[in-house]
Amino acid sequence: MNGNGTNSSCPFGGSDPITPLLVTVQSVIAVMAIFGNSMILFLILFHKHSVHCSTSLQHHSATNNLFVAALAFSDLLVGFNIPFYITFYFDVPYKCNRSVCMVRYVVALYVTVLSVLLLLGVAVDRYLAIVHPLKYHKIMRFRLAKRIIAFVYIYVAIIVLAPLYSSLQWDKPEECDLVYVLSFNYTFFVVLCHVFLTLVVTLILYYKIFREAWQQLQSAFTLKAIQIHQEAKTTKMMVLILSVHMFSLIPYLIVVIMRYYCSEDMAGSLSDAKKVVVIFYFGKSAANPVIYGWKNKELRHSFIRLVFGSDQSHRHSSAKMCFLDHVGVALVATTQIWNAKKTDKTRKPVSEGDKESFSRNLQHNAREFYSLDESTMIPRDSCQVELVNILNLCESETQSETTKL
C-alpha cells in the first residue's frame, strides 16, 4: 500500500456490461430523490398554508410532519450520495483508497440507521396518538419531537463516524467493498442492534396500534373512535413508508452479511447481487416523496397551490370538511344519547323530535365554539378551537342528557 492509502494491485480495466444500466437507473433515482425530498422539505418547512380544522389536529399533524421532514432529509442525503457511489463503478483514481471508500459506506450506514430510528420515532408518535389520544398533546410536544430528532441525528453520527478513527487495515484491498473497510463486529453491531432490533420494536408498536384501533372501531360510535379515525390516514401512510423501507433494506443487509461469511468463490456473485439490491435500497428514497404526496392530502394540495397558484376548490373543500367535522362529532354524541335512552326500558323510545333537538343543540354549540354564523362557511385557517374541546363538550352534553333521562 502506498502513502495515500491506495494499493498498487487495485484492479482496473473497465466496467461490467451491466454498468451502463446500473448507472442510468441509479441516476434517475438520484434525480427523483433530490427533487422529491427537496419539495417535501420546502412544503413542510416554508410553505405553511395547509392549516387544519383545529389546533389539536394541527398539533398532531405538525409533530408528524416534523418526523416526515427528518425522514425526507435523510432520503435527500441518499440522493446526493448516489452520484458519488456510482463513480466507483468506473476506473477512478480513488477506487481503492480506504479513506474515500469509507466515506462511501459511512454515508450509506448513516442514512440507514438514521431512517430506521426515525421510523421508530414515528411509531411512538402514532402509538401515543392512537392508544392514548387524550394524553398525546401533553406527552408528545412539538419541542420534545424536535429534541428527539436532534438527538437521533447526533447519536447516529457518533456511531457511524467511529470507524473513520480506527486503525483497521485492509487485508485484501481488491475493491471498494464494505467487507474491506469495516470489521464484521462493527457491522454486526450496527445492523443487529440498530436496524433489526429497531425494526422489531417498530413492528410491535404498530401491532398494538392496529389492535387498539380495531377494538375501538368495533365498539360502535365512541369519542375515542372518532379521534382514532382522525389519525387513521396518517398512520396508514407511515405504515406504507415502513413497508417500503423494509422491502428495500432487508435484501441489501442480507447480501452484506453474507458477503462477510462467503468464500472467495461466491464473492463475485454476491458483489453482482449487491449491485442489484442496492437499486431497491436507493429506490426507497425516491419512492417516499411519492407516497407522501399520494397519501397526504394537505401536502398534495400545497404542491398544487405552489405550482399552479391558488386552489379555490381545495379552500371550499377545506371549509366544508371543517363544518362536517363539527356535525360528525355532534351526530356521534347524539347517537350515544339515543343508545342511553334505548337501554333504559323505563323511558320512552327515541323520537324524531329527540333526534332533531339533540342534533340542533350540539351543532349550535359547535358553531358557537368556532364563531360560525348560520349562513357563513369559514375556511379551516379561521377555525380557532381544538377538536378536543368539542369532544369534551359533546361528552359533557351526553352525560348531562343521560342524567336527565
- Cell 416534523 sits on residue: 66
Per DSSP, the three-state class of 7 is coil
Count the alpha carbons within 13 Å of 212 in the hemisphere toward its beta carbon.
Answer: 21
- Give me the percent of the chain exceeding a pLDDT of 90: 23
Count, in order, helices (H) and strands (E) of the chain.
14, 0
Quote the pLDDT of residue 223. 53
Domains and CATH numbers, the chain: 19-308 (1.20.1070.10), 312-404 (no CATH)
The pLDDT confidence band at residue 177, using thresholds 50, 70 and 90, is confident
Quote the pLDDT of residue 106. 86
In this prediction the pTM is: 0.71
Task: List, in sequence order, every residue forming a beta bridge with 97; answer none if it has no partner.
Answer: 6
- Cell 404498530 sits on residue: 206
Tell me 177's DSSP state: -
Average pLDDT over residues 19-27: 91
The CA distance from 153 to 148, in Å, is 9
Task: List, in sequence order, every residue forming a beta bridge with 6; answer none if it has no partner.
Answer: 97
Residue by residue, DSSP assigns 191-238 as HIIIIIHHHHHHHHHHHHHHHHHHHHHHSSS-HHHHHHHHHHHHHHHH
Q: How far is CA 65 from CA 113, 152, 190, in A?
A: 20, 16, 27
Quote the pLDDT of residue 172. 47
Quote the pLDDT of residue 355. 54
Res. 115: pLDDT tops 80: yes
Res. 156: pLDDT tops 90: yes
H-helix or E-strand spanning residue 250:
helix 223-261
Which comes out higher in pLDDT, residue 108 or 400?
Answer: 108
H helix intervals, 309-351? 312-343
Res. 57: pLDDT tops 90: no
Record the cell numbers describing residue 379, joined without a space.
375556511
Count the alpha carbons within 13 Å of 113 in the hemisphere toward its beta carbon.
Answer: 23
Per DSSP, the three-state class of 52 is coil
Give the CA dihedral 178, 183, 189, 194, nearest 10 degrees. -30
Q: Closest Cα partner for 380 from 306, 304, 301, 309?
A: 301
Long-range contacts of 295-304 (CB under 8 A, 24+ apart): 295/233, 295/236, 295/237, 295/240, 296/234, 296/237, 298/50, 298/52, 298/61, 299/40, 299/43, 299/44, 299/50, 301/50, 302/43, 302/47, 302/49, 302/50, 303/39, 303/43
